[in-house]
Structure 1
Amino acid sequence: MVAGNGLDALRDRLRSDPKVTSTRYEEWFTSLSSETKSTVLRVGLERATEVRTLAHEIRRLYEIEQFHPGAFRLFNVDLAPQFRYCVETGTSPVPERDLRVLDLAIPETALRDQDVTALTVDGDRLGDSPEAVLTALDRRVQTADPDVLRCSTARIIPFCHEQANELGIDDFRLGRADGYEKLAGSSTYESYGQVGHSPARFRVPGRAVVDESNSFLLDESGIPGLLDLVERSWRPLQETAWGSIGTILTAIQVRTALERDVLIPWNKWEPEQFKTVATLHEADRGGFTFAPDVGMHEDVVQIDFGSLYPNIMCEYNISPETVCCDCHDSDDVPGIGYSICDRDGFIPNVLRPIIDDRASIKREIAATSDPDRRQNLQARSNALKWILVSCFGYQGYRNAKFGRIECHEAINAFAREILLDAKETLEAGGWRVVHGIVDSLWVQPVDGESQTPIPELCDRISERESIPLELEDRYDWICFVPLRDSDAGALTKYFGRVAGSDELVTKGIEAVQRSTPTFIEALQRDLIWTLDRERSPEAVCERLYHGIQTLEAGDVDPQNLLIRKRVSKSVEEYDQRTQTVAALQRAKDQDLPRHPGQDVEYLVVDDSRRSKERVRLAHEPLREFDTEVYRTLALRAGESVLRPLGWDRSDYRRYLNGITTLSLEGFQ
């Protein structure tokens, strides 16, 4: 779609373009704030893959040759091909029956070694020779007739076809017709400051290929969660599986916009509005934070606003076309004075069904006694949770189709006001806030004061704000951890015991960090349980010493000491010779290169070396390990548990150095 002046001349020019099959004029809204439709030129092409090519030509060639720069605005350019077909033809990609899924898996080393005998199907080995494996695989696929191939890596698709071709198995196929297609090569990207890696993508005729190594949403919500998002976005299953959360959210917005006859801009052209220094100072702030009271606290209650930011967007009608609109000059946003139009906002229209459906799903989870049904519902709830988590940040994303920084600022302003009002109400009810961040508050009864019950206060605040405030958890005790090099509290590091259960809560500490070896994770959890039993830093130290003794005696399976790190750049770009760089060099030498955004797993065997010999990769034979490296990790994990108790590094090191005879606690 093209809008602008000179459409007749452009249409004449496009008629001679071999890529173009048709042109016609249509009436569409060209923005969310448009009150009347505009005449636009629809351009039909021979192939969907040529849409972006023609768009660049219109922007760079036709404008320069016949028009002035910026003469045209282009719409509906960068829609994925299958998604485009669905939304433009009204064809639903939602399956009409339960899908049949076949799991294919193969180790990375087997791909490197061209060893197809290592392939498994639904966990089963298929044979001892390549011919037997491929023949059995072909038979299994034809018999099961799966709708979805869930692969440990999509590289299985070309690998199996190539192996079958080399062996002369002519009728081999994984699709419902012959062959396969490479959709995209591997690539590296950056999102919210994190480097990611997208593997090459492939498809086979008639089946969806879901790559476990390239699907965050599959990992978080499984096939049921993906199918829920397919129904909402109309992105077919395979595109949904490899799409990011932001991509799926955009697809839901695109579908909603097209249903409202609003075109999708190729590039966002609305600039940030002019602000005074005072407004900028007030608006350029984040959400609510209340520094945690470092230490151990008993009888603590955690309360959370349910989907706070999405609910704010719906409750206060925050949307790109409603914030700072041209038809109002009111002071609606607290602190920054932005106006908000009273016409129905686009973003609330997108989010409200998701919020309501997730609330309904959570109620059904609580009510059902069927474990299979509960698992399916939880998967759907998880998928919707991630969409709601991302919708706020997406308003501030520079390339968001329907984002606007003023919306982002308005949401934060309302959130700060809501949390401050809630804090005042809780304090008036006899509770002390010991920590608060974004949409959560941790409160403790004030000694000597009578307390209004938390459920009553939650109901009062929920009614006032029209946003549900819910009791998330009660804790027998909870510890807020200080920053590593400061006495100030870390906003997202705490641990404790949930009241009335044998459940720990652990946030931000080593036990939940993805790089932490399994042994260190288990040791830290053991230290926390020791604290729960003994309420004594000395007992924790003795248990820590026991863990260190186990390391020094070599009584730890090296598989439980593997360190996993995310690669941020290629091995050649690193300046320091770290353990991770040694692992990357080792992987490269074994023809298993790691790209930025991928993980590398290794065991540190001799940290005194600066070569690749200081580590071993996860798939290599693992025997010896560097005790000092893992002792340091153990001490660091112990420090996180001990510092909220008032013990700093010198305290626990002095105590450990003084231990000669351990109490029985150290050996339980």
Structure 2
Amino acid sequence: MVQINEYGEERVKEVYTKYPMYLIAKKLSTDEVIDNIKRDPKVSDIKVESWSLPPWYDKKADIIRVELEYYLALNPLLKRWELEGYLERVNVQPSSKTISLIENGIVLFEWDSEVSDPWSPRLSFPELKIASITYDEKRVKLNFYALSCSRNRATNFIEMELHDERDLVGYLNECNIIILPKNLSEMIIDNAKNMRNKILIIDVRNPIDSIPGWMIIGRISFTNLNEVASSSIGKLLTEIEAIEAYRRKMVVPNIRIYNEGWRNVDELLTYDSGGLIGIPEAGVYENVLQIDFSSLYPSIISKFNISPETIDRPNCRNRLHLNDAPHEVCVDFDGLVSSTLKKLIDLRSKIKEINGPFSKTMEKAVKWIMVASFGYLGYRNARFGNVGAYELVIFISKKVMNKAIEISLKNGFNVLHYIVDSLFLQKFSKELINDMDANRLLGEIEKGTGLKIKEEQRYKWIIFPKALNPIKSAAPNRYYGLTYDGELIVKGVKCEGIEGLKVNDSVLEEKMKKLLLKNSHPRKLCGEILFLLSKFSDKKP
């Protein structure tokens, strides 16, 4: 393990450990399998443990735990044993390295020896020197900066360009973390890999775009920084769920084993149609309140105990059944996926409460894992996937949204639009919405649905543009608006350089409103906005 002290000095800490793997007997008895494998000198220890078996985890089986002192011996041994045909590996996730870290009580990315909980919402680390490299059109750009908890920010040291990537290596020796693009030459990447005690991150493949974000996810998934950056969100989520299964002694399936039953067309249209999305009337609306349910799908999974082994479970004593719901939920115990989501929701909430130097990037990283949780319930290759669970989440989300719409109407609000977990509301009188009215409405919806909801924005005006499809009045997934503090919001169109833009000039505001109303195609919108801004800037004295 590489450790960095408070002075930024690196040292390697050696931790003695054993690497476990889990096996189940085939053809032979458990005792006969143990007699065969204990003869190998690479095997350090063998134990027999009782684990619950999928799909319902209502039956137990003897699982053989084999411990090795050398990690590199694991795969060759396993391959030989499996070829002999008398055993099969189970619990591929979590990995042997992950289990070793857990059992040694090692918390990754934590420099405070008193912290023993990987789910702690705090990060504390000494100043880290980072080199981030981009490579484009045969130009190498270097950005050197320091990351420090005490300074509450990232401090830029230097930005520079190199015309020859071979000059790069000499600049990297002083850095703790090096972020490299995959398109650099193999020679440069190999040289970087050979640098002693450097954390090397190559080929970032997920939307978590910050080192503190990678750290918090790496800590709860017991995954090193490079693997976090280069793994899909789904893989990281599965590792976190597999760790929970390991703690409960639930065998992790190698493939998804919850198969979907036959459905007729009407059932598919009813239960597999996605979240509730409205079609607004195109036009401009003033004094609009946007409210959002907080992490709607993860909250439903957690609140209603939705997990593959709880959906339509046989031999269940206590069932939760909602009117017209396509599936029932067993509530005899806390489900694996629902428990994992509850921990993620709690972690995100605690990070927000702390409001530390890197809370925003850490909270964003946890949110990405939570967002993936719903999609992975229905993903065909997900180890903890179940189409029934996926359908039930959609069903409940529609019930929740319809209840929120009903409560909004009763409280004097017209529902202009709704998208999955968001509502756009305007008073029937179209007058300004005050804090008292907004807070009363939020309280009523939370009470009526049992789920948290928050105010997202208050718009001075908002535009729902005409749809490209002439059959529809307006595009359901695009809207543009101006908040009361002058921020321009453009959703459904990716416009670089526009996020957070302030429009505080009344003349510019009126021109912007006309432009957004007249826009004929979303692909032209960004260019038109930027052209207007440059034109208006040139005219100002």
The amino acid of 1:361's aligned partner reads: I
Q: CA deviation at 1:32?
A: 7.0
**Secondary structure of 2:273's aligned partner:** coil
Distance in 2, matches of 1:121 and 1:339, equals 54
Whether 1:104 and 2:131 are equivalent positions in the alignment is yes
Picking from 81, 86, 90, the partner of 1:75 is 90
- CA distance in structure 1 between the aligned counterparts of 2:330 and 2:186, rounded to whole angstroms: 52
Q: Is residue 346 from structure 1 mapped to residue 336 from structure 2 by the alignment?
A: yes
Superposed, 1:254-653 pairs within 5 Å as 254-274=242-262, 279-328=267-316, 332-342=321-331, 343-365=333-355, 373=356, 375-447=357-429, 453-486=437-470, 488=472, 489-499=474-484, 501-509=485-493, 511=495, 532-534=509-511, 537=514, 636-637=524-525
CA deviation after TM superposition for structure 1 residue 227, in Å: 2.0
1:230 aligns with 2:118: no
Q: Structure 1 residues 22 and 457, CA, compared in 2 at 3 Å: closer, same or farther?
A: same
- Please list, as runs of the form range in 1=range in 2, the aligned pairs for 1:58-207 lying within 5 A after superposition: 61-63=83-85, 74-77=89-92, 79-80=94-95, 82-87=97-102, 89-96=104-111, 98-106=125-133, 108=135, 121-122=144-145, 123=158, 137-138=172-173, 140=174, 146=176, 148-151=177-180, 155=184, 158-159=187-188, 162=191, 180=194, 205-207=196-198
Report Cα offsets for 1:276-303 as digits up to 9, x if no partner: 6654443222111111221111111101
Distance (Å, rounded) in 2 between the aligned partners of 1:41 and 1:423: 54
Could you list the per-position Cα deviations for residues 233-265 of structure 1 after superposition, in whole angstroms to 9, with x for gaps in the alignment?
222233222222212212221222211122322
Q: CA deviation at 1:208?
A: 2.0
Q: Per chain length, whose mean CA-contact separation is higher, i.e. which structure has more relative contact order (CA < 8 Å, sep 6+)? A: 2
In 1, the alpha carbon distance for the partners of 2:257 and 2:81 equals 17
Superposed CA offset, 1:399-450 (max 9, x none): 2222211111111000000101111111122211111111101011113999
- Give TM-score scaled by structure 2 length: 0.75
Cα–Cα, structure 1 residues 96 and 426, in superposed 2: closer, same or farther, change >3 Å?
same
Larger strand percent: 2
**What do the CA deviations read for 1:502-561 (whole angstroms, capped 9, x no partner)?**
20111112525xxxxx7xx69x999x98673258748987xx9xxxxxxxxxxxxxxxxx
Gaps of 5+ in 1: 67-71, 163-173, 181-203, 366-372, 513-517, 545-631, 642-662
CA distance in 2, matches of 1:136, 1:284: 54
CA distance in 1 between counterparts of 2:300 and 2:366 reads 17
TM-superposition CA deviations, 1:546-589 (whole Å, max 9, x none): xxxxxxxxxxxxxxxxxxxxxxxxxxxxxxxxxxxxxxxxxxxx
Tell me which residue corresponds to 1:39: 62
Match for residue 53 of structure 2? 30
How has the CA–CA distance of structure 1 residues 206 and 504 changed in structure 2, closer, same or farther, with 3 Å as cutoff? same
Instruction: Report the Cα distance in structure 1 between the residues aligned to 2:172 and 2:345, rounded to whole angstroms.
Output: 43
In structure 2, distance between residues paired with 1:399 and 1:52: 23
**AA in 2 matched with 1:496:** G
Distance 1:85 1:151 in 2: 29
Deviation at 1:268, TM superposition (A): 2.3
Matching residue of 1:242 = 230
Amino acid at match of 2:129: L
Larger Rg: 1
Counterpart residue number, 2:206: 216
State the alpha-carbon separation in 2 of the partners of residues 206 and 159 from structure 1. 17
Q: CA deviation at 1:498?
A: 0.7
Cα distance in 1, alignment partners of residues 259 and 79 from structure 2? 22
- Secondary structure at the counterpart of residue 37 of structure 1: strand
The one-character-per-residue Cα deviations of 1:166-214 (angstroms, maximum 9, x if unpaired) are: xxxxxxxx6xxxx63xxxxxxxxxxxxxxxxxxxxxxx55332233x41
The answer to whether the 8 Å contact 1:310/1:388 transfers is yes
CA distance 1:47–1:268, change in 2 (3 Å): farther
**1:322, 1:340 within 8 Å by CA — same for their partners in 2?**
yes
Shift in CA distance, 210/665, structure 1 to aligned 2, threshold 3 Å: closer
Q: 1:106 to 1:288 in 2, by over 3 A?
A: closer
SS of structure 1 residue aligned to 2:53: coil
Contact 2:55 2:258 in 1 (8 A): no
Offset, 1:128:
11
Distance 2:268 2:494 in 1: 37
Query: Which consecutive unaligned segments of at least 5 residues does structure 2 have?
Result: 1-21, 113-124, 146-157, 530-534
The Cα offsets for residues 107-151 of structure 1, whole Å up to 9 and x where unpaired, read as 5368x69x9xx766543669999999756654x35xxxx3x3344
Contact 1:305 1:439 in 2 (8 A): yes
Partner of 1:194: none
3-state SS of 2:370 partner? helix
Q: 1:90 to 1:264 in 2, by over 3 A?
A: farther
2:10 aligned partner: none
- Residues 638 and 247 (structure 1), Cα distance of their counterparts in 2 relative to 1, 3 Å cut: closer
Amino acid at match of 1:458: L
Mapped contact 1:480–1:495 kept (Cα < 8 A): yes
Cα gap change, 1:497 to 1:424, in 2 (>3 Å): same
Q: Secondary structure at the match of 1:269?
A: coil
Instruction: Quote the Cα distance in structure 1 between the aligned partners of 2:418 and 2:68.
Output: 54
Rounded to whole Å, the distance in 2 between the matches of 1:254 and 1:82 is: 13
Going from structure 1 to structure 2, the CA distance change for 1:224 and 1:254 (only over 3 Å counts) comes to same
Is this contact kept in 2: 1:282–1:336, CA < 8 A? no
Q: Give the Cα separation in 2 of the matches to 1:350 and 1:422.
A: 27
Cα 1:484–1:86 change in 2 (3 A) is same
Instruction: State the shift of 1:390 in Å.
Output: 1.1
Q: Secondary structure at the match of 2:442?
A: helix
1:29–1:38 Cα contact (<8 Å) kept = yes
C-alpha deviation, 1:345, in angstroms = 1.7
The letter of the residue matching 1:3 is: I
Provide the rounded CA distance (Å) in 1 between the counterparts of 2:135 and 2:164.
18
Shift of 1:42: 2.9
Alpha-carbon distance in structure 2 between the residues aligned to 1:350 and 1:48: 28
Tell me how far apart the structure 2 counterparts of residues 3 and 39 of structure 1 sit (CA, whole Å). 7
Change (3 A) 1:241 1:635: closer
Residue identity in the other structure for 1:262? M
Secondary structure at the aligned position of 1:285 is classed as: coil
Please, what TM-score do these two structures have when normalized by structure 1?
0.62
Instruction: Tell me, in whole angstroms, the C-alpha distance in 2 between the residues paired with 1:301 and 1:128.
Output: 52
Q: Distance in 2 between matches of 1:131 and 1:385?
A: 39
